[in-house]
Structure 1
Amino acid sequence: MDAERFLAEFGHIANAPGGIQQLREMVYQLAITGALTPQHGIDGDARQLLADITTLRNRLIREKAYKRLPKLESAALDIPSFIELPTSWCWTRLLDIGEISPRNDAPDEAAASFIPMRGFSETHMGALVPETAKWGSIKKGFPHFRNGDVVIAKITPCFENGKAAVIAGLEHSIGAGTTELHVFRPIHAGILPGYIYLFLRSPYFAVEGEKNMTGTAGQRRLPTEYFATRALPLPSSAEQSRIVAKVDELMALCDWLEAQQQARRKLQNNLRQSILQAVTSANSPHELQTSWARLAENFGRLFHVPEDVAGLREVIYQLAVTGRLVVQDSAEGDAKGLLAEISSTRQKLIAEKKYKRALKLESEPLLPPEIGLPSTWQWSRLLDLGEINPRNNAEADLTATFLPMRGVSERHNAPLRGEPRLWGEINKGYTHISNGDVILAKITPCFENGKAAVIRDLNNGLGSGSTEFHVFRSIHPGVLPSFVYLFLKSPLFRFHGEINMVGTAGQKRLPTGYFALHAMPLPTTMEQVRIVIRVNELMTLCDSLESKLLTGKNLAEHLARTAVSSITGIANEQEEEPMKAPQTDLIAPLRLGVSPAVNDQASLATILARNNGEMNAKDLWQRFGGEIDAFYAQLKTEVAHGWILEPTVAEVHENQSNTVSA
């Protein structure tokens, strides 16, 4: 290795996103290719070590004290052409220098250790977490190991994440573990377990290992053939020892660098949050100007990755809905007059029976927070400004739009992705929407992620959507849907919304009462217009900043990978493959089981009940309207309760195409 070249690239690698991990991988790679430590003539030649091991192995075979893999022994040694080893090194295989998947022999009553997958670490030489067990209870059906063995996880994603270990410190010397392990046992003292561990953690072993994994998505495994026969660079025992010591030293340095980066990142985050908090909590124009100037002065130090911009967006929303983003104009009047007009319109619609009331909520008092508003603003509630979760009336054969949860973005004013459907197909069991409505996802994690939208461009202005939406429909042109959208995206609404969600973990929802009754600041219509325009301008700037940070992040990552590749000779970038559709579809229908009670959270069973108690999985998912992971989680819950019968998983058909076009 060229030391000057390494030092020149070190800063680029270390400071790039994920750079420390790149450094760790580079250290492993340099370690097992002879580029990390110097060779010494007095260490001898690895060929002699290999010859000694071969002699020992043959003796153990004759004594029937060695577990062979005859099918793999005849495989040729495949030496990579891109690695040139030092002259004192040689190539071999794990199969030739030790046992693969060895077995232990001990009495059933002997104390032993069991290590599940969670007991293995992804960090360099991370500590093991064994559990005490009797040998008889774990000797069958699990891989065996003992102190001095080397193991690596063979299943995804544990293999890719680097779960491996040198077995050491077992209280009773022997043990067994998760079935998803490959185990290697050296048969000669000249093979250091620590060096084999470095080999298994190296990009040289891991990158090709990932390509050779077999099985279906989520259940891919590293074959024994690859583990046992991958060409292994072997130095002398003395050099193995120096390499292991040097790697431990460099990994400790990487740990220190990572800790320093995390501490610096924490300080940056705290500074950014402190300044942004000062901006949002300013109580006077002077305080706001001062805190905003401080933000501007430190801008370059506060925003480093795209995720940092989220806090700035929240500040913009908060300033917008509390009257501190644009200057008030006394010529535009007062929001009191607007509220009076809305109240009059509401009473008229009630008298004409054209308004969906929420009688249980109307008697609740208005409870504004202790936040000062401009003198021309008023506190109100969505309940007082329009309809909550309204209904539509239209002909069944009219073309409308169905809007699933996945059709709504978390991004500011992002386009909606609806599906044309006949109104008669989507008018029952769903949330109704019309052009101009404002929707908000009420289920976790969609609510926390900020899924909301102003409804536009529906077919015939008519539609329905996921049952997991809250809907607001303005009854007066003086209340702009775009301003209500800003309110629903603001911390003023969202902070206490997360606290007030109800339900079990993974199924928590925002109550209708909170949505309808939370105090909302209301400016005049003209100021709403100016605020919306200003927010859109600032969000465009945020998009630009986010894009620049993302470009810089990707460039830094690319430079770091390129530097590592140029030094180690290993290119660990993977080409993106086209998205794969499932090879098989569930075609057995989903059928209604025990009817759920009214208060049960059984949205899928409710949809089935409205469709003659039977639907295929794809149609039920589309009617559900949520993300696919949320759908399967809900389906699992309802099957467990018996509300939906267990589907017949054996009934599948093969898809003709497995590539999803862009």
Structure 2
Amino acid sequence: MTVETFFANFGHLADAPNGVQKLRELILQLAVQGKLVPQDPEDEPASVLLERIEAEKKKLIAAKEIRTKKIVAINDSPFELPESWAWVPIGSICRDWGQKVPDQQFSYIDVSAIDNEKGVVAEPAVTEAVDAPSRARKLVQLGTVIYSTVRPYLLNIAVIDKEFEPEAIASTAFAIVHPLGGVSSQYIFWFLRSPVFVGYVESKMLGVAYPAINDSQFFSGLFPLPPLKEQKRIVAKVDQLMALCDELEARQQKQQQVRVRLNNAALDGLLTAREPDEFADHWQRICTNFDLLYDHPETITKLRAAILQLAVQGKLVPQDPNDEPASVLLERIRAEKERLVKEGVIKALKKPSSVSAEEMPFKVPTNWTWARLAELTEVITKGSSPKWQGVQYVDEGKGILFITSENVGSFGLRLDKRKYVESSFNEIEPRSILKKGDVLMNIVGASIGRTAVYDIDDVANINQAVCLIRFVGQGSLNFLRYFLTFFNTPTCISYMFDKQVDNPESVRGSFTPLVIASRNDFREPF
């Protein structure tokens, strides 16, 4: 893409998925490549600027204001620069201001004080010397650029744009970049946020929990140095385009808010429609405006939820008066369950109460019926923790598959991360040994209500965060898929969140549905 094409299509590019963020990255990439503004042959070249910087450093060293730093030069430049530019290590065009132990009240700049969107220090904490953190050491001045070398992907970068009272002292988590020779602090700031430097840092940072780049690697990073006058033109252009990106982003956010409100109103009309004609009118409005309403993940998620809700309300497909009513199916299930009890296959449990009209969350078609989940199932139970049972995790092939809430997705198992426990777990917890066709539901934590069918043949068991639901005779695939649909509806998930408990040990006692003591509370339309 040429620069001319880029500017001509600026607004259209912003409308693409994640478009504004990509635009910001492209602006910075073009800027540091010397492609955002034209070069002026009258500008003093960067080579002359470098000579002045070297002379300035020699004076500072002679005056003992700075020390000589050994910088490991990197020879491989990421891309070709304009003739008047130069590749140099970042450390060669800047200085620091040394360190001190605070001896009086000071303005402490730590990572949390950075507004990383605006690139400024927002709220330094005025701190007494006796309360100074051990990391409060680095001095800064007006025009200093500070860069957090800990978790650098968060882009906690700022320009010190004002004098602080009391004196500002920064955390040792920052690299201090104070430009020499009049190099623009704002140009340095934009470069440190550019894709080329972000990529360099990602290739050098070490650590898992708190990845970081050390000062030596940071200051060895290559810096594309333009002539001073061009730096000013670049900064002005980047500031202008970033402001335009802000406007585009604000416009998109406003459009999205309107889109969400329209979508909510359209789906609410669909879900609350009482007559077929009313339902058809609301659905036609959605179809007419489908491209407008459903071009964002937020509204698509709500549409999925509405489809599931309509399905279990009997509004998604027409009813056939020739279909056998659900009440007959329920009687067959009850008869089969009684047979299993008589044969000793399952235990006899207290007969659940009928579902009252007050309990029904919505009206269902006349050939449907509401039923307690307990009426439809052979067993509802949950698993246990290997730790509680003194059982160890083992490698694949040395035990049984162990299903946790992480493995239970919406409508399907997630088996990319499998765990295994000693086979003795099945001897200790035989009630929760899985059979093909069992329905699994997460009953604890943020993923509560997520439901899938256990559809593989592996010998397996479950932990305490997963509920096993085994339907009478396991049912047909369509039967199970219908209940998966219901379990993933807003009605069911809302019920689950309303009844959840914090302590898995107390689940048996009362409040979480689908476990032994409280399974009769759960009801389903079918």
Q: Which residue is equivalent to 1:404?
A: 403
1:211 correspondence with 2:210 = no
Residue identity over aligned pairs, in percent, reads 27
Task: Give the corresponding residue for 1:446.
Answer: 447
Q: What residue number does 1:475 align with?
A: 472
Distance 1:123 1:47, change over 3 A: same
SS of the residue 2:154 aligns to:
coil
Corresponding residue of 1:26: 26
Do the aligned partners of 2:102 and 2:137 also contact (CA within 8 Å) in 1?
A: no
Match for residue 128 of structure 1? 122
Q: Contact (CA 8 Å) 1:413, 1:453: kept in 2 or not?
A: yes
- TM-score computed with the length of structure 2 as normaliser: 0.82
CA contact (8 A) 1:116 1:177 kept: yes
Q: Could you report, residue by residue, the CA deviation over 1:330-375 in whole angstroms, capped at 9, with x for unpaired residues?
A: 333433344444445555655665543555x946964532422111
Aligned-partner Cα distance in 2 for 1:267–1:136: 52
Which letter maps to 2:469? F
Q: Which residue of 1 aligns with 2:92?
A: 96
SS of 2:233's partner is: helix
Kindly state the Cα deviation for residue 304 of structure 1 after the two structures are TM-superposed: 2.2
Is contact 1:391-1:433 (8 Å) kept?
no
Q: By how many angstroms is 1:381 displaced?
A: 0.8
Q: CA deviation at 1:259?
A: 1.4
Could you say if the C-alpha distance between residues 65 and 137 of structure 1 is closer, same or farther in structure 2, counting changes exceeding 3 Å? farther
Look up the equivalent residue of 1:31 and give its one-letter code.
A
What residue in structure 2 maps to residue 184 of structure 1? Answer: 177
CA RMSD of aligned residues (A): 3.7
Superposition deviation, residue 218 in structure 1 = 3.5
Structure 1 partner of 2:193: 201
1:476-495 alignment runs, 5 A limit: 480-495=479-494
Cα pair distance change 1:432/1:53, threshold 3 Å: same
Is contact 1:390–1:432 with CA below 8 Å preserved after alignment? Answer: no
CA distance in 1, matches of 2:176, 2:382: 63
Deviation at 1:236, TM superposition (A): 4.0
The CA distance in 1 between the partners of 2:457 and 2:406, in whole Å, is: 13
Deviations 1:144-203 (A, max 9, x none): 1323211112123xx123221112335326333343221112344x12322221221222
Residue deviations 1:99-143 (CA, integer Å, cap 9, x gap): 14x32458712x311122222233242452211113565485445
Alpha-carbon shift at residue 483 of structure 1 (Å): 2.9
Alignment correspondent of 1:498:
497
- After superposition, residues 552-567 of structure 1 pair within 5 angstroms as none
The amino acid across from 1:211 in the alignment is S
**Aligned pair 1:114/2:108, yes or no?**
yes
CA deviation after TM superposition for structure 1 residue 421, in Å:
8.8
Q: Is the 8 A contact 2:100 2:138 kept in 1?
A: no
- Letter in structure 2 aligned against 1:310: T
The aligned runs of 1:316-465 (5 Å cut-off) are 316-346=307-337, 354-356=345-347, 359=350, 362=352, 366=356, 367-389=358-380, 402-405=401-404, 408-412=407-411, 425-429=425-429, 431-448=432-449, 450=450, 452-458=451-457, 463-465=460-462
Match of 2:463 in 1: 466
The answer to whether structure 1 residue 85 and structure 2 residue 100 are counterparts is no
Give SS of 2:244's match. helix
The correspondence of residues 67-78 of structure 1 with structure 2, limited to 5 A, is 67-69=67-69, 71-72=70-71, 75-76=72-73, 78=75
Show the counterpart of 1:232.
Answer: 223
Corresponding letter in the other structure for 1:83: E
**Which one of the candidate residues 159, 165, 174 is aligned to 2:167?**
174
Aligned-residue offset at 1:63: 1.5
Residues 186 and 140 of structure 1: CA distance in aligned 2, closer, same or farther (over 3 Å):
farther
How far apart, in 2, do the equivalents of 1:358 and 1:201 lie? 65
C-alpha change, 1:328 and 1:25, in structure 2 (3 Å) is closer
Q: Secondary structure at the match of 2:497?
A: helix
Q: CA deviation at 1:435?
A: 3.5
What SS does the aligned partner of 2:260 have?
A: helix
Q: Does the CA contact (< 8 Å) of 2:159 and 2:189 recur in 1?
A: yes
Amino acid at match of 2:149: K
Give the distance between the partners of 2:448 and 2:38, measured in 1 at CA: 58
Indicate the SS of the match to 1:28: helix
Displacement of 1:407 after TM fit? Answer: 7.6
Q: Which runs of 5+ in 2 are unaligned?
A: 384-397
Q: How do residues 309-320 of structure 1 correspond to structure 2 at under 5 angstroms?
A: 309-320=300-311
SS in 1 for 2:112: helix
The residue matched to 1:198 in structure 2 has which SS?
Answer: helix
The residue that corresponds to 1:37 in the other structure is: 37
- The residue type equivalent to 1:212 in the other structure is K
After the TM superposition, which residues 536-551 of structure 1 pair with which residues of structure 2 at under 5 Å, given as runs?
none
Counterpart AA for 1:116: D
Structure 1 residue 278, shift from structure 2 partner: 2.4
Residues of 1 paired with 2:406 and 2:99: CA distance? Answer: 56
The residue that corresponds to 1:64 in the other structure is 64
1:263 aligns with 2:264: no
For 1:217 and 1:4, how far apart are their aligned partners in 2? 42
SS in 2 for 1:433: coil
Aligned-partner Cα distance in 2 for 1:185–1:138 = 24
Checking the alignment, whether the CA contact within 8 Å between 1:94 and 1:229 is kept in structure 2 is yes
Contact 2:369–2:525 under 8 Å retained in 1: yes
Q: Are the equivalent residues in 2 in contact too, given 1:91–1:231 (CA < 8 A)?
A: yes
Distance 1:231 1:475 in 2: 68
Q: Within the alignment, does 1:290 sit opposite 2:281 as a pair?
A: yes
Are the structure 2 counterparts of residues 328 and 302 from structure 1 closer, same or farther at C-alpha, using a change threshold of 3 Å? same
Greater shift in the superposed pair: 471-480 or 244-253: 471-480
Judge conservation of contact 2:108–2:168 (CA < 8 Å) in 1.
yes
Distance in 1 separating the partners of 2:203 and 2:359: 59
Residue aligned with 1:325, SS:
coil
1:554-633 to 2 correspondence within 5 Å?
A: none
The equivalent residue for 1:518 is: 522
* Letter of the structure 2 residue corresponding to residue 32 of structure 1: V
Letter in 2 for 1:17: P
Change (3 A) 1:55 1:335: closer
Q: CA 1:341 to 1:2, structure 2 compared with 1: closer, same or farther past 3 Å?
A: closer
Separation of aligned partners in 1, 2:148 and 2:382: 55
Gaps of at least 5 residues in structure 1 are: 393-398, 523-662
- Note if contact 1:437-1:474 (Cα within 8 Å) is conserved in structure 2: yes
Structure 1 residues 106 and 494: CA distance shift in structure 2, 3 A: closer
Q: Deviations over 1:429-473 (max 9, x none)?
A: 47233344322111222325x2x22344435xx753233222223
Asked if the contact 1:53/1:97 (under 8 Å) is kept, the reply is yes
